[in-house]
Chain A
Amino acid sequence: MTAGILIPDVGPIQRASVLGRVNPLVKLGIALAWLVGMGLTLDVRPPLILTLITLIAGLQLGGIAPTALARRIAPLWLAVLGIVLANLVFSAHNPDPLATELFRMGPLRVTQEAVDAAAGLGARVLSIISVGAVFALTTDATFLIDSLVQLGRVSPRFAYGTLAAYQAVPKLADDLGTLRATRRLRGLREWHPRLIVGMLVRAIRHADQLAIAMDARGFGSGPRSTYRPVRWQPLDAVVAIAALAILVAALVVSR
């Protein structure tokens, strides 16, 4: 309903897929390891290799429809553009007299070194975008929270409190739409910082009611059992090892 917000929809196909069944903590760990790994190089090849593998895995092992993946990634090229431009135009190499000059545009001198670095950083962003999209489209929020609690030792009160608050997203998006409608019909421009207050008032009332409803159902009153037991599985180890091998291979290629 509210433009520009892609509320994630992880359907039964994605949940039952290989990437859907891999523990979300493993996926987060891989994302972090790859991020650190990409931080070690400005070469354009390793992030492009990871991007390609991530997208193929998302389609083949994640059950994501090509259109859904494209729709999610499409608006994000602007982020790549921004990073590339910033590093290209403001590169520390450009003023360096020893660097190889490619061309000049008025006061702007662009060097080969700057182009290389900007390309590497742009490719890095591309790999981050792909990993983020595949993660979001294959990760069930309940599975993530259950894993954080049962395997990651996160406090169940904070974890399930967050999950409960997260259920309010469609309601909040509707509230935002209605508040904008109100502004328009009262002759005011639709977007205004004040909208945040309107949303927060509603959100806080919602939170207070939820807290009462949850306390009334014995939340946080003592030891808890679990309706959805989560354990590490062989699949998690296989995927983790494969992902690390891919990272090492991608980094070696660049040497």
Chain B
Amino acid sequence: MPEGGVFRSRDADLEAIELMTTLNPAQPSAQTSPFAAWRTRDILLAAVIGVVFGVVFAIWNGIYYGLQLAKPLPDALYGMWLVPAVLAPLLIRRPGAAVFAEMVAAGVSTLFGSPWGPDTLLSGFVQGAAAELVFAMAGYQRWSLPVLSVAAIASALGAFVHDWAIYYADVATDVQLLRLALMAVSAVVFAAFGSLAIERSLGRSGVLRGRSA
């Protein structure tokens, strides 16, 4: 039944310490408008989502190459690369989260030896910015599945244009459109549905407690 002694859950200890250490009056308080400045924990949350997905990308790159002979079917996996651009804003709900998290993920992936090298950063920016645009148009207020899906598709569209210019310049238009369709469907599955599923599980786990979401 009750747990004994001074050792309680780590969350409780951390909360206690947070109360003891109000060293940082510059930090805005929680539960403010989406346009309030980022708190340190928001920055760290977005950054760590980027880092986790940087690691996931390193694994995903391997799977994606393994299927190269089946081009363009592997593009049905493309959505994984767009998850941070939807997941981070969904959890943090502040302007800039999509671009920031996606670029951190791209940066980590670059240092880990992504084949696309520093071009990964450019992709990351395009993918993040396209999703960011959609969330901005929704005023950073609406986080329903349709909004997430549109953001995911916008991100896929950004990636598609970038890849066409740099990697698929000679590919016929009908195949290009097939790629776009695969990428868009994949984006909705991974980035929109996937982010919502992750948010639900994380919500149950309690690690999002004390956030606006």
Contact = CB atoms under 8 A, between A and B. Distances in A.
B190 to A, nearest CB: 9
A157 B44 CA distance: 9
B100 interface: yes
A157 B205 contact: no
Contacts of A79: 65, 68, 115-116
Interface residues of A, number: 81
B48 A168 contact: yes
A85 interface: yes
Interface stretch (B55-63, B130-138, B139-147): B55-63
Given A85-B69, A207-B45, A133 B113 contact: yes
Contacts of B117: 31, 128-133, 135-136
A35 B104 contact: no
A200 to B, nearest CB: 6
Interface string B25-53: 11100000000001111011101111110
Interface residues of B, number: 70
A70 B71 CA distance: 26
A8 B111 contact: yes
A91 B172 CA distance: 5
Contact of A157 (B43, B66, B104, B172): B43
Nearest to A193: B194
A82 B201 contact: no
A132 B23 contact: no
B71 A85 contact: yes
A172 B23 contact: no
A169 B108 contact: yes
A158 B43 contact: yes
Nearest to B207: A204
A30 to B, nearest CB: 9
A196 interface: yes
B167 interface: yes
A7 B62 CA distance: 15
B208 A28 contact: no
Interface in A198-218: 199-201, 203-212, 214-216, 218
Interface in A1-53: 4-8, 28, 31-32, 35, 39, 42
Interface string B96-124: 00001000100110111111111111100
B65 A209 contact: no
A220 B40 contact: yes
B85 to A, nearest CB: 15
A32 B69 contact: no
A220 B27 contact: yes
Interface in B162-203: 165-173, 175, 194, 198, 201-202
B6 interface: no
A147 B138 CA distance: 35
Contact of A42 (B14, B66, B170, B198): B170
Contacts of B198: 196-197, 200
A207 B65 contact: no
A240 to B, nearest CB: 15
Interface string A81-121: 11101110111111100000000000000000010011001
Nearest to B62: A4
B17 interface: yes
Contacts of B113: 6, 8, 72, 76, 132-133, 136
A117 B169 CA distance: 8
18 contacts: A28-B118, A78-B65, A78-B66, A86-B171, A87-B168, A87-B170, A121-B167, A132-B114, A132-B116, A136-B113, A158-B38, A161-B43, A166-B108, A196-B56, A200-B207, A201-B207, A207-B45, A211-B44
